[in-house]
Every structure is written in structure tokens, then in C-alpha cells.
Copies of this chain bind each other. A is one copy, B any other.
């Protein structure tokens, strides 16, 4: 390839980005302009891919952590033959296009992960890298791919990246290679106003292999660094000194090139400056097209060879190949819920975190794809898979990942596993610390990932650790996330249902809220049927025509059951356990009204939490919750102080029924 053609290939990327942002009148041209040479090197010399099979297992992954530079990846996918057409590029940032403002998993073939919120992509990539290491260790399949990516200053300032990259260094994830777009400019100005740490030294401290390339346009130097990175057994960071908005005479190296179109005049000036035809926009010169046609042929050969190798491996290793298929399909047995239910006891007081422990052991036997761990809380969350080994550096055959006290990184790494699609990953920590990992929980919901977020210590009843550890608003805040299912089980049966539901749900994340404290066994009028629990809501007692329906979840179901006999006898009361509100909300209106006869019966919700989300269920009914922060005290003292004992709950319900007032306005 001539230097001229190479330069043309690079400038094609730049001007596709510039023209698309210009047409949309919205977007980020500067990053693709600076990083075009790096992207060109990766895609033309290193990345192994097949545009016709974007999910080929042994492909190299490419993750654009600096997701605002989305036109870079759209341009590359277009040139590399993915199903991203010129019309798609022209529809950049338009409703329902394949080229949304930030890369979205599901929207675009070749986009491995939804990125944009800074720090997430590089942290997902750690999950991808570990997923591939574990896939190889567990199956022995011929996996030898790399996880590449480009990250920005903003990515590296975010704490989540610090957490995930520290763990990547610990785990010696040599298959992870990131180019750091060190352009010295961020949205608000030059990085010297706030980001003067020695990034290279920091990544060396994490145990990474770090190289610097002084000129972001030096194709050979970038290539050499990537070759070195592939050789080194550590994760690699290549600090690449680029120029934001390279080629723009007036906006290069200023934050004006970051998040706005160059504008008509500056686009013309930039085209002149780089010797590019002013017309047409969205130009891909013929020889550039030809070059990519050749590259696509070339990578296709690698793909075909691997397919042969893989087929051979499957024939030679039928058992391992069977495991591979099990992982890919994330198979679960048809009677999963029943089998999980068989792991728990229902006749003695127990904490749901302990039920969770029993269920997880069984689930891990039945579903080999399950892997996960906690943020340094195994002895409290009880989420260790006893039959599985520990995952450690150069020891990827285990199933238990020690995330450290890194909740945010944990969530993003778990999402990386889920994107990659070979494992069903779970994280675990205290419910309060879901606050530390909101961004990945939301991204799992946006990207419809099968990520499982286990939380224990789910209410003030955790006791003495006090308000900083006691959830109040967390249940509502998790339920508020679209496409998230939150399970708050009341006993072992519902705990089994929670895990079964999460394992069977392939198109979105699930979260569990388990108790620290022991719960009294429930009395069920019917038989204990895990399928009932799976519906998300069901009646515990048999009341055909209730005056009142009391709905409770988790620890408050037993509380409500104890309160029931103390409620004014003139009312017929149905008790509903609702371990998963989201499932109930998916029922038809008729089904909903059959269980919760709104308008006919009066409605009460009981949950040891903030409660503002319960009005959507009970409407003008009564919500018994907690409207302030918790306190450090033993469980029983708290039950009394927060009016959550059976007599107090019964008293509040009776009073409200007898007064007939609306609950949620003051008297």
C-alpha cells in the first residue's frame, strides 16, 4: 500500500465523521479526526473479524470507550463491510437509525457494547477480556483473540476505570489492549486544568504494560506498539499523543472541536487543508473501497481457518464442545425453578441471603454458565460457589471472581461478561451499595443484558451498621429503571423463584434484595408452589371477596402475616406477597384486578423502605414504609422505633380503614 493511499484511507475516516456530524448538526468530530490513524492501524493490520458474522466467537473485540466519538466506529464498520450502509451514516443521530449519537449494543452490527457514559467501555472491556480467558480455560477451545479499545481522558478520570483497570492488572489480562487518546483536551478545556497525574505511571502501578507513542499520525509507531502489546503478558495501555480535531485549521487542539460540528466554513477549510475534495460529502474514494475489499478478503481467510480448527476441536473434544454449546445457549433445565426450590427449607426461620446461598449452589450445578462474585463481601452476601475454584491471575478456570471493594467496576465488568455472551454473570454487595453501581445497572437494562445483581442487607433491619448502610430509597430506585426486574423474596421458595427467573430471563438484568436477618416461615393456604412465586405476585391466604388487600414484599410479608389477626375483625383481609413488582405490572389489567381488586377493595402496601413507588400499585391506598433515614441499633429496637412491629402495623391499618381518609395527603 502506498503512503498516499494510506493517508487517503485515514482521511476517509476523518471526513466521514466530519460530514456526518455536519449533516446531523450534532455530534463529536474532534475525536475521530485525531484517532483515525490509530483506528486505521487496528482495523487494517490487527483486528480479526468477519463483517458477515459480527458475533464470531474468536473475533477480536473493539470497544470504543470514548463513545462520543461514535462516528469513528460507524465509519470503520461501514468501510470494513458490516451492515452499516452509506444511508445509515447519513442518518447519524436520527430516530431509529443504526447510527445513534452514542454506540448502542443491539442497534448496530459490530458494536460490542453501549458506550458514552465515560469509564464504562474500558471497564466492560475488562469483563470481555476475563470472559474470554475463562472461556478458554474452561473449555480449552482454540480462543486466541484480543480485546482492543480506544479510551479518552474522561474515561481515565472516572473512578470506575480505576477500579476495573486495577483488577485487570491484578488478573494479568494480557488479551486486553487499549489505546489512550491522549489529546490533552477535554470538553471544558485543556486537561492541564485538572488532569496532571502521570497516567502512565498510574497504569504501571496497576501492573499494566505501558507504552507511549509521541505522534498520533505515526502509523508505523502505532503498529509497532500494538505488536508489542500483543506480545506482553500484561494488559496494555498505549498512550497516544493525538491532536483533537486534527486537520482543522482553526479548531484543532481546542475544545471547540470536541462536541459540536465544525461548521460549514471550517469543514471546507479542513478539506482544503488536508487536500480533500470539497464535494461530494461522505466521499469514499474508489481505491479506498478497493483496499477495504482486500482487507475483508484477508480477514475472511483467518475466519475460515479458525472455523476449521474449531470444528476439529469440537470433534476431538465432544464433552468440552458440549460445554461450549451449553455456555453459548445459556441452557437451563425445564424444571429449573422446582430444582432450585428443592435446595431450600421452608420450615425454620432463615435469612433470605442464606436461602440465596443454598439456591446459588444448586443453580451453579445446573447452569455451568454462572460465574460471579462479590465486592469483598462473600462472608456476608453468601455468594461464593463452593464447587467452583477462585479466579486468579493466570488461573482462569474458576467461577468465583474476587472483585475487591470496587462495586462500580464490578457492575461494569459483569456487564462485559453479559455482552460477551458466554457466561451468566452475577455481582454481589449490600443493597445500599447499589448506589455505587447505578451506571452499569442502568446500562445493563438499556442493553438488555443478562446481568444479575445480588444485594443483601436489604433494609434497616440489618441493624447496628446504621443509616449509611441501611437502604431506604434503594428499592424504589432500582424499580425505577426501565427493563430491570427486582426480586425481594420473602422466604426460600421465593428466593428459588428469584434465581430461576433471573436465569431464564435473557433480555434484561435482574436484581435481588435479600435480608441479613432471619425471617419467620410463611403460612400458605395453598401448597408451596414455586411457579406461583415466579408470577411475581400471589395471595398467601384464601379470601374470596376481600375488603382489604395488604401487599408486602420480603421481610414484611411475615410481618404482615403476623399483623393480620390483629387487624380490626370486621374486615376481610387478603395478604398478597409481591416479590417482583415488575412482573405484576406486566399482567393484563383483568389479571391484576383479580388479585388486587382496585376500586372494590382498599389497598395497603407494607415495605420497610421509602415507599414512594408503591402508590402506583395502591393509588389512593395506604403505604406503610419509612420516610426518613435509618439508625444504628439492634433490629428489634428499630422495628419498634420505625413502627414496624405486628401490633403497630395492624393498628395503623385498622385506624386508616376506620377513618376512611386518603393516606398520602396529610390530615
- Considering residues A194, A196, A204, A379, which has the most beta carbons from chain B within 10 angstroms of its beta carbon? A194
Chain B hits for A379, CB < 8 A: 187-188, 255
Known: A193-B402, A379-B187, A589-B665. A409 touches B100 (CB 8 A): no
A:608-622 near B, CB below 8 Å: 610, 612-613, 615-617, 619-620
Instruction: Write the A149-176 contact mask toward B (1 if CB under 8 angstroms, else 0).
Output: 0000110011111110011011000000
Copies of this protein in the complex: 2
In the complex, A641 has a CB within 8 A of chain B = yes
Residues in B with CB closer than 8 Å to A588 are 666
A408 to B157 CA separation, bound complex (whole angstroms): 11
How far is B170's CA from A376's CA once the two chains are assembled, in angstroms? 30
Cβ contact of A468, chosen from B102, B376, B476, B617, cutoff 8 A: B102
Q: Which of B202, B480, B615 contacts A202 (CB 8 A)?
A: B202
A482 touches B (CB below 8 Å): yes
Residues from 477 to 499 in A contacting B, C-beta threshold 8 Å: 477, 479-483
Query: Is A632 at the interface (CB under 8 A from chain B)?
Result: yes
Chain B CB count within 10 A is highest, among A154, A199, A439, for A439
Contact A480 B619 (CB under 8 A): no
A197 and B166 form a contact (CB under 8 A): yes
Q: Which residues, 394 to 416 on A, are CB-close (under 8 Å) to B?
A: 402-409
Question: A446 in the interface, Cβ–Cβ < 8 Å?
Answer: yes
Asked if A455 is at the interface (CB within 8 A of a chain B CB), the reply is no
Residue of B nearest to A442 (CB): B435
CA distance A116 to B598 in the complex (A): 43
Supposing A435-B438, A466-B101, A480-B612 touch, asked if A631 and B96 sit within 8 A by C-beta, the answer is yes
A100 with B27: CB separation less than 8 A: no
Q: Known contacts A95-B632, A464-B27, A665-B592; is A405 also within 8 Å of B476 by CB?
A: no
Residue A118, interface by CB 8 Å: yes
Chain B residues within an 8 Å CB radius of A619:
615, 619-620, 662, 664
Cα-based distance from A201 to B104 in the complex (angstroms): 37
Separation in Å of the A324 CB from the closest CB of chain B? 28
Cβ A598 vs Cβ B205 within 8 A: no
Which chain B residues lie closer than 8 Å to A67 at the CB level? Answer: 468
- Chain B residues, Cβ within 8 Å of A593: 665
- The reply on A465 being an interface residue by CB < 8 A is yes
CA distance A627 to B255 in the complex (A): 35
Candidates B97, B186, B402, B465; contact of A101 at CB < 8 Å: B465
- Report which of B94, B95, B205, B406 forms a contact with A201, defined as CB distance below 8 A: B205
**A96, A114, A193, A665, most chain B CB atoms within 10 A:** A665
Contact check, B186 vs A376: say whether CB atoms are below 8 A apart. Answer: yes
Q: A residues 430-453 with Cβ under 8 Å of B?
A: 432-433, 435-436, 438-439, 442-443, 445-446
Identify A615's interface contact among B187, B436, B615, CB under 8 A. Answer: B615
Interface contact B469-A102, CB-CB below 8 Å:
yes
Query: What sequence of 0s and 1s flags, for each residue 186-227 of chain A, a beta carbon within 8 Å of any chain B beta carbon?
Result: 111101011111111110111100000000000000000000
Which residue of the partner chain B has the closest CB to A258? Answer: B379
**Within the complex, what minimum Cβ distance (angstroms) separates A185 from chain B?**
11
CB <8 Å contact, A631 and B95? yes
Interface centre among A153, A405, A463 (most CB of B within 10 A): A405
Chain B residue numbers with a CB within 8 Å of A233 are none
Nearest 6 pairs of A and B residues by beta carbon: A159-B159, A100-B632, A95-B633, A615-B615, A589-B666, A473-B480
